[in-house]
């Protein structure tokens, strides 16, 4: 994997988010934050500021660009163990076939450059999977590698909405020890 740093390991296709950007989802995103910005709920205000419709907050791009985490009829977690991982996760899509097999992962960092606001009716998806860093490490949780990936978020017109970097530690957990 270290030798692949700098390469885009995707096939170039777009992995689309589960749902369109819609007003109800924006409202539910804003409510717990008490984020009172009329661009996100008042169509006329958004239009006066040059947008086609109500905009979704930039920070919600991840919400709208990921495929569904849960699939109806399927359990999300099939193991109650200490190092249990979801049975399915769209984040596992960051994995590539040439990576060594691991059973655990967690996110370590995230950064984004936001280029355009998503608006009601947009469909967002992820494109690309450039490996920027791969640092093999043995840690207290297990042996694996810290990785950093870069991808774009695009809308249905393939306009780039954001450029994102997402870090993970992919690892094999150490056996549990008795205290």
Q: What is the pLDDT of residue 153?
A: 98
- pLDDT over threshold 90, residue 96: no
- pLDDT over threshold 70, residue 174: yes
Q: What is the pLDDT of residue 20?
A: 97
Q: Angle CA(161)–CA(154)–CA(40) in degrees, nearest 5?
A: 50
Predicted TM-score of the model (pTM): 0.84
Q: What is the pLDDT of residue 154?
A: 98
Over the stretch 16-68, which tens digit does the pLDDT of each residue have?
999 999 999 999 999 999 999 999 999 999 999 999 999 999 999 999 999 98
Selection from 137, 134, 130, 159 nearest residue 147 by Cα: 134
Residue 116: band (very low, low, confident or very high) from pLDDT cuts 50, 70, 90: very high
Give the residue extent of every domain in the chain.
Answer: 2-173
Calculate the average pLDDT of the chain.
91
Which overall architecture, per CATH, does domain 2-173 show? Roll (3.10)
In sequence order, the β-bridge partners of residue 172 are 143
* CA terminus-to-terminus distance, the chain: 35
Q: What is the mean pLDDT of residues 91-110?
A: 80
Longest dimension (CA), the chain: 63
């Amino acid at each position: 994997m270290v030798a692949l740093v700098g390469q885009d390991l995707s096939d170039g296709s777009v992995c689309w988010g589960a749902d369109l950007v819609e007003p109800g989802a924006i409202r539910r995103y804003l409510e717990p934050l008490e984020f009172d910005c009329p661009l996100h709920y008042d169509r006329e205000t958004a239009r006066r500021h040059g947008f086609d419709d109500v905009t979704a907050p930039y920070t919600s791009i991840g919400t709208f660009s990921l495929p569904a985490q849960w699939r109806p009829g399927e359990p999300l977690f099939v193991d109650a163990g200490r190092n249990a991982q979801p049975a399915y996760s769209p984040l596992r899509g960051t994995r590539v076939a040439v990576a060594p097999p691991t059973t655990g992962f967690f996110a370590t960092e995230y950064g984004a450059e936001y280029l355009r606001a998503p608006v009601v009716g947009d469909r967002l998806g992820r494109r690309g999977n450039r490996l920027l860093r791969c640092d093999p490490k043995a840690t207290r949780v297990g042996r694996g590698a810290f990785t950093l990936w870069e991808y774009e978020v695009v809308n249905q017109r393939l306009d780039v909405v954001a450029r994102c970097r997402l870090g993970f530690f992919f690892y094999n957990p150490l056996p549990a020890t008795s205290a």
